[in-house]
Chains A and B, each alone.
Chain A
Amino acid sequence: MKKVLAIAGIVVKELYRRKDFYVLFIITVLLSLVMASVNFFNDDKIVRYLKELCLLLIWIASLVIAITTAARQIPAEREQRTLLPLLAKPVSRSQVLLGKFAGCWLACGGTLVCFYLFFGLLAMSREHSWPLLNYVQAMTLHWMLLGIVIAFVLFGSLVFAAPSSNTTISFVLVLSILVLGRHLNKVALQFSEPGRTITYTIYYLIPHLELFDVRDLIIHNWPLIPWQYWAAALAYGGFFSALFIWLGCWAFQRKPVN
């Protein structure tokens, strides 16, 4: 565990010593502040619209950070050959991959805290209320979604040769699942066999990332999700993260590193 955390620490340090996070954070802050500075007759719906746009920016920024950070981990280690002195130490490849996952996930958790704190302060300045538990549920589910995405991208980085193709494919797949995933079962009904079975199989096999998208909780101040459903969603996310990490370890074991 100590070795995994040591590797995770390097990933976190790298992310915060690069400029990506700061650039995305500043862009999100600036865009949100510009939008928030416009006062449309104090209309509630407009405040909600601004919150929705601001949260959408946060979601896009967090996905960009998660995917680009995870996608470069192993390929950069291979290209810059830092993997050689690392694997010459008494660490297994599984520990390296787990450390990479933990580092990316923790770093993304840190960025989410910054983004949500900023969003909360901005929303509070307009609405004068801050439903803390709604924020906790929305942020933890968002973080778990990033966990699945990071594990998936790390696995992809061991399958695809070029980091750019991994990044592009991961973006397309994640966005497709978020937008279309929930509708696949309805789409399946419109197909004849074997298309129907194939579409249903895809529907049941993919991680349903849309389950983690509860932005409406804080946009519309909806009542909390029952905590058992929240926990079940986290367990579902944990299962898929573990599955992709396991696949990643399997692929990594088979890869020569010279």
Chain B
Amino acid sequence: MNSAFGVANEETFSPSVAPAQNSSRRASSAVAIAFENLGVVYPARLRGESPKLALKNLNLRIEQGEVFGFLGPNGAGKTTTMNVLLGFVKPSSGGARIYGLDVTDTASRQKLGYLPELTYYYKFLTGRELLRFYAKLFDLPQSEAERRIRDLLKLVEIEHAADKPIRSYSKGMQQRIGLAQALINDPRLLVLDEPTSGLDPIGRMKVRSIIQRLKDEGKTVFFSSHELGEVETVCDRVAILNQGEVKEMGSVEDLIRSYNLNLEQIFLKVIGFDENGNALNVAA
């Protein structure tokens, strides 16, 4: 494990997109993700229950090349937002677009990579078979698919277990094969739902280094996380969501400067808690 998942990444992964400079990324005004007046209401599941407002009038634009952190307490609406983006949930109002394509269009996911929060893969397949299967769904030519599978297995350091069934993988290995499947199509946009959840500190550091590398390659990364230190390190901009509404949004540096607090303190303040985690009386 200590054999430097992160270090090997630096050496072995050959990016297919040339690293872009921050300035050139900023110059590009292509909108990767656009949420417009997005609202989601879940119908009541039980009689007597009222429908649940999950998202309220969300407006958000994420530009190509940005690393965007989506923060919020549990139940704030982060996963619902991602579910709309991926076409899992239909919006009750408004909509979302990926590179100008409506999210209901399956073509909008052609250049998208998605890493779910937990490892949800076919346990009876081997790691290599899983990547081959997903490569076929992207219509990748076989030679290119095999080359990418080889590179990605190297990147996530599971070459030795590539032909073993996923059911025999440890949690960390499953998370790594998950990351490999998210990158199989060389995506322009990555949606990562708590990518470091359940990983040990070394695993977290390695995932962080991959996100950093993707950022350097000019990819757009949209991710949710509860690890605020990690968000502070890798994100260009963040949005803090609470009760289905964006309460604060901006670049990490600007927020830190304007609040004169660190990101964790800002987060707690925005969602109505003090530094010790006690609820603030907003009305007072």
Q: Mark A1-21, 1 if CB is under 8 A from B, else 0.
A: 011001101100110011000
Interface flags, B216-243, vs A, CB<8A=1, else 0: 0000000000000000000000000000
Interface set, chain B 87-129, CB cutoff 8 A to A? 87-90, 106-110, 112, 114, 116, 118, 120-125, 129
Contact between chains at B122 and A10 (CB < 8 Å): yes
- Tally of contacts, chain A with chain B, CB under 8 A: 76
Is B259 interfacial (CB-CB < 8 Å)?
no
Q: Which of A9, A82, A86, A256 sits near B89, CB closer than 8 Å?
A: A256
Q: Would B80 and A258 count as touching, CB distance under 8 A?
A: yes
Instruction: Determine whether B137 belongs to the interface, using a CB cutoff of 8 Å to chain A.
Output: yes
User: How far is it, in angstroms, between the C-alpha of A175 and the C-alpha of B139 when the chains are bound?
Assistant: 41
Find out whether the CB atom of B114 lies under 8 angstroms from the CB atom of A85. Answer: yes
B150 to chain A, nearest CB (A): 19
Complex Cα distance, B178 from A10, in Å, reads 17
Partner of B114 from A9, A17, A88 at Cβ < 8 Å: A88
Closest to A92 in B: B106
A89 engages B88 (CB within 8 Å): no
Decide: A90 near B137, CB < 8 A? Known: A14-B122, A85-B120, A258-B83: yes
Inter-subunit contact A87/B87 (CB<8 Å): yes
- Inter-chain contact B133/A6, CB cutoff 8 Å: yes
Query: Which range contains the number of A residues in contact with the other chain?
Result: 20 to 34
- The distance in angstroms between the C-alpha atoms of A87 and B112, with both chains bound, is 11
- Most chain B CB within 10 A, of A7, A9, A82, is at A82
Q: Contact between B88 and A3 (Cβ–Cβ < 8 Å)?
A: no
With beta carbons under 8 angstroms apart, the residue of A7, A13, A17, A82 that contacts B120 is: A82
Interface assignment of A257: CB less than 8 Å from any CB of chain B: yes
Beta-carbon contacts under 8 Å, A55-71 to B: none
Contact B137 A258 (CB under 8 A): no
- Cβ-defined partner of A82 (8 Å) among B110, B122, B137, B138: B122
**Do B86 and A88 touch across chains, with their CB atoms under 8 A apart?**
yes
Residue of B whose beta carbon sits closest to that of A254: B90
**Which residues does chain B contribute within 8 Å of A3, judged by CB atoms?**
136-137, 139
B106 and A2 contacting across the interface, CB-CB below 8 Å: no
Chain A stretch 69-90: residues in CB contact (< 8 A) with chain B: 80-90
Residues of A within 8 A of B133 (CB): 6, 9-10
B window 63-92: CB within 8 A of A: 79-80, 83, 86-90
Contact indicator A89/B121 (Cβ below 8 Å) = no
**Set of chain A residues within 8 Å of B110, measured between Cβ atoms:** 90
Min Cβ gap A116→B in Å is 27
From residue 6 to 39 of chain A, which have CB atoms closer than 8 A to chain B?
6-7, 9-10, 13-14, 17-18
A residues less than 8 Å from B116 (CB atoms): 81, 84-85, 88
- Judge whether A90 and B83 touch: CB under 8 Å: no
CA distance A85 to B82 in the complex (A): 12
> Would you list which residues of chain B between 131 and 173 have a CB under 8 Å from chain A?
133-134, 136-139
B181 at the interface (CB under 8 A from A): yes
Inter-chain contacts of A87 with B (CB < 8 A): 86-88
Specify which chain B residues have a CB less than 8 angstroms from the CB of A17 in the assembled complex.
124
Asked whether any CB of chain B lies closer than 8 Å to the CB of A187, the reply is no
A218 to B185, CA, bound (A): 51
Q: In the complex, what residues of B have CB within 8 A of residue A85's CB? A: 114, 116, 120-121, 134, 178, 181
B223 vs chain A, min Cβ distance (A): 14
Q: Which residues does chain A contribute within 8 Å of B108, judged by CB atoms?
A: 90
How far, in angstroms, from A87 to B87 measured CA to CA in the complex? 8
Residues in A neighbouring B129, C-beta threshold 8 A: 13
Q: Hey, which chain B residues are within 8 Å of A6, CB to CB?
A: 133, 136-137
Q: Does residue A91 face the partner (Cβ distance < 8 Å to B)?
A: yes
Q: How far is the CB of B76 from chain A (nearest CB, A)?
A: 15
**CB 8 Å contact bits of A220-251 with B (1 = contact, 0 = none):** 00000000000000000000000000000000
What residues of chain B lie closer than 8 Å to A90, measured between beta carbons?
A: 106-110, 137-138
Residues in B neighbouring A7, C-beta threshold 8 A? 137
| CB contact under 8 A between A81 and B120, given known A6-B133, A13-B125 | yes
Known: A14-B122, A258-B89. 19 other contacts (CB 8 A): A3-B139, A6-B133, A9-B133, A10-B122, A10-B133, A18-B124, A80-B120, A82-B120, A85-B134, A85-B181, A87-B86, A88-B112, A88-B114, A88-B191, A89-B137, A90-B107, A90-B108, A256-B89, A258-B88
Question: Chain B interface (Cβ within 8 Å of chain A)?
Answer: 79-80, 83, 86-90, 106-110, 112, 114, 116, 118, 120-125, 129, 133-134, 136-139, 178, 181, 191
Can you list 13 contacts pairing A with B, beta carbon distance less than 8 Å? A3-B137, A9-B133, A14-B124, A17-B124, A18-B124, A81-B116, A81-B118, A87-B87, A88-B116, A90-B107, A90-B137, A91-B106, A256-B88
Chain A interface residues (CB < 8 Å from chain B): 2-3, 6-7, 9-10, 13-14, 17-18, 80-92, 256-258
